[in-house]
């Protein structure tokens, strides 16, 4: 049996360029996003001008090589961007998360040079990406998908429905999975780059969600969508491998999102505790409140160490499947617990929309659900040390 922590690396501090990048994203989040958070939540929409600003900031193509216009930066910098954006608004953070840790990350690894030259400049400049794997009957059992791809000459003809697709409303390019040979089961699954303007492709309704309401979660409809063979990602039949490896990285991104959410909720609760007076003094002076804040701060610190360490593992080329699942599982717990405790520090006003606590609380719940539920993460963790 392998040791439980056989692939952990020593934690390192942020490099100077990573610190500068983090500070730049933090300033952007505070000045450009924060004033509009509640409006975006009410309207359930990310303004296109804000998305354009994210492209100009350079956070939509962090790992895309500089030759294509990207930042050519490391994976941890993508994680830092997600964390800092989630500290202010997890909806904006998940848009950037999907673009970088799922779409760009997969395409950097699996596209050929000609495909990279076609798609990367768009993803860097103005094209939002989406990752389309889930269907109504294939969530945790992702490989039970029914969307089919039939080879017809130099193209594949795709038919089916995709559900719960983040960035669905804004995306121009979709990393979409369909089965090119149902007789082979999951070994028929193939990845495609589907472009929004392909005939027969349409975006269905946006789901009315509990949290991260400004983020679009949509159905995708494929009705005889003809996709050129040159849009196949990797090779026909290895889509299952593309999907699994990409989700391992994406889970670190969700960990970063929940970490940033927890940090934002904690900072809001701390500021309120210093201002709110009861019995003649600030509630932060009461030991019970101090203990609540101390527990929150401790869990956030542990989550941050886990997120950064797993990101460094990924960068090093070491195995990180177990750590990725642990990070996603633990950070989603921390996000929900800290958001709940923060709301309690606010007391009655925390239950209203006049303060940020209730939004952080609503936004936190999705962390245990998307990109693999908590049960799926526990199953993955157990398999790595049980050898199954």
**371 tagged catalytic:** yes
User: What is the torsional sign of CA 264, 101, 157, 228?
Assistant: positive
Could you state, in chain order, the average pLDDT of each consecutive group of 10 residues for the chain (388 residues)?
Answer: 43 83 98 98 98 98 98 97 98 98 98 98 98 94 93 98 98 98 96 98 97 98 98 97 96 98 98 98 98 98 96 95 98 98 98 97 98 96 88
Question: What's the pLDDT score for residue 139?
Answer: 86
DSSP symbol at 221: E
In the three-class reduction of DSSP (H, G, I as helix; E, B as strand; rest coil), residue 201 is classed as strand
- Give the bridge partners for 132, in sequence order: 176
- The pLDDT value recorded for residue 387 is 79
Q: Which of 84, 170, 195, 371 is catalytic?
A: 371
pTM of the model: 0.95
Nearest alpha-carbon partner for 381 in 306, 327, 322: 322
H runs (alpha helix) in 276-373: 287-316, 321-346, 357-364
Place of tokens 């960068």: 315
Question: What domains are defined for the chain?
Answer: 16-128 (1.10.540.10), 131-237 (2.40.110.10), 240-386 (1.20.140.10)
The token pair that represents 203 in the structure block: 């975006």
Q: What is the pLDDT of residue 388?
A: 65
């Amino acid at each position: 049996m392998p040791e439980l922590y056989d692939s952990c690396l020593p934690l390192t501090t942020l490099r100077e360029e990573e610190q500068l990048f983090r500070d730049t994203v933090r300033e952007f989040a505070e000045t450009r996003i924060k004033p509009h958070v509640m409006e975006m939540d009410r309207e359930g929409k990310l303004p296109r001008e804000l998305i354009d600003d994210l492209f100009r900031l350079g956070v939509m193509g962090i790992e895309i090589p500089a030759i294509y216009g990207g930042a050519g930066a490391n994976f941890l910098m993508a994680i830092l961007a997600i964390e800092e954006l989630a500290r202010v608004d997890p909806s904006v953070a998940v848009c950037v998360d999907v673009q970088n840790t799922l779409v760009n990350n997969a395409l950097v690894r699996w596209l050929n040079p000609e495909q990279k030259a076609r798609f990367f400049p768009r993803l860097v400049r103005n094209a939002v990406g989406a990752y389309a794997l889930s269907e109504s009957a294939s969530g945790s059992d992702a490989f039970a998908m029914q969307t089919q791809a039939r080879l017809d000459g130099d193209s594949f003809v795709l038919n089916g429905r995709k559900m719960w697709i983040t960035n669905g409303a804004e995306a121009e390019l979709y990393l979409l999975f369909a089965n090119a040979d149902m007789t082979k089961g999951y070994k028929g699954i193939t990845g495609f780059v589907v472009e929004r303007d392909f005939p027969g492709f349409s975006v269905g309704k946006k789901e009315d969600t509990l949290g991260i309401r400004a983020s679009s979660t949509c159905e995708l409809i494929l009705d005889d969508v003809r996709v050129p063979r040159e849009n196949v990602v990797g090779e026909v039949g290895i889509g299952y491998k593309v999907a699994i490896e990409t989700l391992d990285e994406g889970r670190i991104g969700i960990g970063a999102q929940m970490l940033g959410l927890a940090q934002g909720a904690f900072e809001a609760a701390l500021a309120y505790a210093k201002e709110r007076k009861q019995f003649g003094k600030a509630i932060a002076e009461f030991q019970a409140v101090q203990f609540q804040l101390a527990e929150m701060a401790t869990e956030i610190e542990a989550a941050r160490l886990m997120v950064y360490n797993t990101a460094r593992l990924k960068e090093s080329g070491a195995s990180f499947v177990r750590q990725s699942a642990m990070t996603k599982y633990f950070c989603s717990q921390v996000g929900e617990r800290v958001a709940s405790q923060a709301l309690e520090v606010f007391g009655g006003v925390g239950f209203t929309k006049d303060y940020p606590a209730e939004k952080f609380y609503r936004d936190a719940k999705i962390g245990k659900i998307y990109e693999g539920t908590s049960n799926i993460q526990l199953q993955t963790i157990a398999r790595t040390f049980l050898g199954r």
